Amino acid sequence: MIPKFYTLRHSRYWDVDWVLKLLLLACILLTSTSIIYAQDYFYYYKGEKQRLELNTGYVYVVTSTSISDSLELKTMINRNIQISKFGTDNSAQTLKSVSKTANSGITNWAELRLSEKLSSEEYLLYLEQLERDESIKNASPYFKNENKDKLGLSDYFYVKLKHERDFSRLEKMAAELGSEIVGQNKFMPLWYTMKTVPDAKLNALEQANRFYESGLFEHAEPDFMEDDLVHVPNDPFYVDQWGLTNTGHYGGIAGMDIRALGAWDITKGSRDVVVAVLDHGFEMNHPDLQGNTFGTGFDTESGTSPALLLGSHGTACAGIIAATGDNNTGVTGVAPNARLMSVSNSLVGTPNSRQRRADGINWAWQNGADVISNSWGSGVQYAIIDNAITNALTNGRGGLGTIIVFSAGNGNGNVGYPANSNPDIIAVGAMSPCGERKSPLSCDGEGWGSDFGAQLDVVAPGVLISTTDRQGATGYNTGTAIHPLNGGTILAADYGDQNYTVWFNGTSSACPMVAGVAALILSVNPCLTHDEVEDIIEQTARKVGGYAYANTMGRPNGTWHNEMGYGLVDAEAAVELAQQLLPAGSEFDLYSKDRPFDTGAEPNPDGGPMWISEDIWVRQNLDGGLAHENPEYKMFSPNGVYVRVRNNSSVTSECANLSLYFSKASTGLVWPNHWTNYTLSGVLNGDKVNTVSVPPIPPGGTTIIEIPWYPPNPGDFVNDIHHFCLLARIESPADPMFNEQNGVGVSINVKNNNNIVWKNVQVYNNDSDSYFTSLYIRGVQRGWSKINLRFYDRGFNDRIEKPFFDRGGEIYVKVEPEFFERIKKAELQDIKIIDENMLFIASPKATIYGIEINDQETFSMHFAFRVDVGDREEVLLDVLQQNTEKRTLEGGERFVITKSSKAPFSDERLSVNKSNLVYPNPAKDEIYIKYSVDSDNSLVEVSVYDALDPNNEVQLYTGEHNRGEYFEWYNIQNLKKGVYVLKLKIGDEVKTERIVVSK
């Protein structure tokens, strides 16, 4: 209803008749208390009246087919009313036809959102006025009850007969009241769907009540429309994100959006899909981005990781793509479950800047980016950038091609470079809230224009976009701003204490919208090529804005227009089409073996360790070798991770990917916590390496997948520098995971799934490694639990001629102090404590029972082995973590000892002698010191200096300690070979000891 007198002045319904009706209404209200405006609203459910109240904020209308979209309807009614929904009704097609006279044609319907609250009298009178127009077939009210604030009454209601013979009664009463029988329910034949006819005196609620009150029918119920099937994100600023759900924002047209809600009914994205943002870098600790950050990123300016924060632009772009949804914080992204990779670039004209941008593209696709979002341009064309884009399109995603999305530009002219450089790029223009190309004349009122022309592919919302902003006053939101349309002030306090902005503009904001849609597409069909993803986006785009779209040479994906490309990107239709393109036919079964004797059964009936697979291994070079090696840190050439994939079915596999993850070696690893963006003390300890395509494998066939990998910089770690666990997951819609769980020890998922394979094996060689190698111990049960640690040398169906302990093998274990205290409280079998924090093991029965541990804790144990191993021999030792109560395996590690020093270890190198300040000595990679502090808050400093150059002192540690004994280790890997002096200063007391560093 037109709510107030002044809102009617431009309405087609504002006439003399309207004024007379209002005057007449006022007179009647003075003389009558029983008219319709004071009536009691209800419907019947199981014979009981269900009370209702009017909701005068909305109206439901059925229109003639001459009104084809919401823009026409809005123009006809009034510009102060929003069309919040506009759709097509084909309900008759879902029912069994029973009447030749029933109108089964398709009609249009809409939900009107009124700009001001009305009285009940004004509201009902407005419904009558709407129906006076020949284009409006029906106008019905909205209601509310104690459970819902918004119940829209459609023109349908449902009636159930008492007996089949009562159909004639249904026909007779329908004719009397002004309704038609739309059809019979296909599954419950006593139920019929009814519809009010145009010009009926009673609406669907009133007719349903009359049918029930006649006593002739079992049930009669009106049809109420509820938004209970569409989950709207709880993020507080989602209501401002018109690009996702447009309800008429900024004077725009309702429904002119990317239809995000419909797409989210199918998918909100996948953690396996990574979108790189090549931009200023984004705030990886932003509260709306940190949960979706992938890895540490890359900085093109320095050529190293991590990515830096060089401006505000990247944070805004990242939020549009994949801000976390439903976290009661800020905004939500187009693909809120996808992950974001930060690639930072200055985006300013500096020497060598174009080569650095090319580097960013190459680094992104080589490090797992499925989509690269580029909200930048260049006034000059560069072959080096062209080649980088071609590399990504050709080689990314294991040969399927990385999807490259570029902004078209904001110059109101032709599409700019690089968006215009390659037809396989998705070039994105900007659209206004009214569904038109963003131009200086578009309805948003801003004076710039989106680029357009022959290379334009699609458009997306690109003006007044709400998104993430740099935290504090350093971003776009500096505290206040002037509203671009009404001139009012926007306060930063309204937007999350300046962590968000409401006015991010340009094709810079349209580009990440499309990148987010590409991520949604890949989440439901990861085996699409980059060409197929682009085709889907173009074929499903909506023809909005009233432009004359036409068939165009070189544009095979539908009608196209110079200013809009194929039209407005449609996330819902794109995801639906991507699903339809999944390979048809029988499902297949791909797997990798947990052990040599694994048959691929799910779950694996074996109760042994799941981390010793021979179907996944590492080579220090991409040489195709079959023997497992320890990863080696190299800056310019990758290691190779190899995974053997087998087809256990009778059909050829068609669509599958292989995702590889790493984590620092531990007996306790939880999925996905320790495998995706897992940091410990600020250092990345686990993350996804890459996803590659698995080629078709014939029945019973096998293939080996090679994945390049750059292991983390050992300088980042103070523990064992090269020991990592690897996890490979075979992912395919035709071969889904079997009972995969989150938040549990990864061993459970490996056991249940033949799609998942795990490697936690270290090759230990005393000739090349330091004496001690390290392993993390963690709990995998939530909260507190107890674990057993076993030291087992018998293998698990391995061919072992002479086990480790039968060869006289010995293990020296150094334990950090807190964990050592836990061990002392546990039960030790065949394990000796030989000094503070030091254990000695020489028995195959060695076990520590009942160590208390929490899943939030991480402890380290350091191992040194002494055993006789001949040339070309291997000796196995497994460290097993069991749940004390259940005696089930939670995790572990296998050490493959290939060679030992010819001379036996001296006890001096391995024991903790209280007179010694440091050990081992000589040392290679790390040293351990033990000392006592006699008073509280003592300043402790640890440093080393070259014995030949005392002035070149390297500080290892400085800080305050309380009284007590301390046992600590330090990384000295960066020290060159030579003789050094370790200096320990506690308060005013200084101790020194000479160290020999051998390399």
Q: Which of 508, 613, 659, 663 is catalytic?
A: 508
Determine the Cα–Cα distance for residues 725 and 747; give it in Å rounded to an integer. 12
- Name the region of 681 (left: φ>0; alpha: ψ -120 to 50; beta: rest): left
Report how far Cα 665 is from the mean position of its chain's Cα atoms.
26
The distance from CA 697 to its chain's CA centroid, rounded to whole angstroms, is: 30
Q: Of 155, 223, 235, 279, which is the active-site residue?
A: 279
* Helix, strand, coil percentages in the chain from 3-state DSSP, rounded to 5: 20, 35, 45
**In 68-153, which residue ranges form alpha helices assigned H by DSSP?**
70-77, 120-131
CB 669 within 8 A of CB 891: yes
CA distances from 928 to 83, 264, 582, 585, 831 (A): 72, 54, 57, 61, 22
Q: Is 718 helix (H, G, I), strand (E, B) or coil?
A: coil
Rounded to whole angstroms, the Cα distance separating 503 from 782 reads: 43
Q: Name residue, tokens 């002479």.
A: 802
Residues β-bridged to residue 27:
none
Task: Write down the catalytic residue from 313, 561, 674, 723.
Answer: 313
3 state DSSP class of 560: strand
Is 915 considered catalytic here?
Answer: no
Specify the DSSP class assigned to residue 414. Answer: B
Distance between CA atoms of residues 112 and 326, nearest Å? 27
Pair of tokens at residue 415? 């599409």
Name 575's Cβ contacts closer than 8 Å, sequence gap at least 6.
Answer: 263, 266, 267, 520, 521, 524
What is the Cα–Cα distance from 760 to 665, expressed in whole angstroms?
7
How would you classify the pairing of strands 371-374 and 274-279? parallel
Angstrom distance (rounded) from CA 532 to CA 536: 6
The crossing angle, in degrees rounded to 10, of helices 530-539 and 571-580 is: 130
Residues forming a β-bridge with 277:
342, 373
Tokens for 332?
């939500």
Residue pair 39/203 in contact (Cβ under 8 Å)? The answer is no
For tokens 């918004």, what's the residue? 150
The rounded distance, in Å, linking the Cα atoms of 423 and 413 is 19
Residue 300 tokens read as 């093109």
Strands 784-792 and 41-45: unpaired
Look at residues 258, 708, 236, 326 and name the one whose alpha carbon lies nearest to residue 511. Answer: 258
Which residues are CB-contacts of 192 (< 8 A; sequence separation ≥ 6)? 98, 158, 159, 160, 161, 170, 181, 182, 183, 184, 185
Look at strands 657-664 and 590-591 and give their pairing: unpaired
Phi and psi dihedrals of 868, rounded to 5?
Answer: -85, 120
Locate 251 and state its tokens.
């004077």
Instruction: Give yes or no: 227 in active site.
Output: no
Three-state SS annotation for 790-822:
EEECCCCCCCCCCCCHHHCCEEEEEECHHHHHH
Of residues 520, 743, 694, 714, the one with CA closest to residue 590: 694
Beta strands in 360-476 (DSSP E): 371-374, 403-407, 426-431, 458-461, 465-468
The alpha carbon dihedral of 835, 840, 845, 849 has a sign of: positive
The pair of three-digit structure tokens given for residue 898, joined into one six-digit string: 């290939």
10 is catalytic: no
Beta-carbon neighbour count of residue 885 at 10 Å? 12
Read off φ and ψ for residue 46, nearest 5 degrees: 55, 40
Active centre residues (catalytic): 279, 313, 508
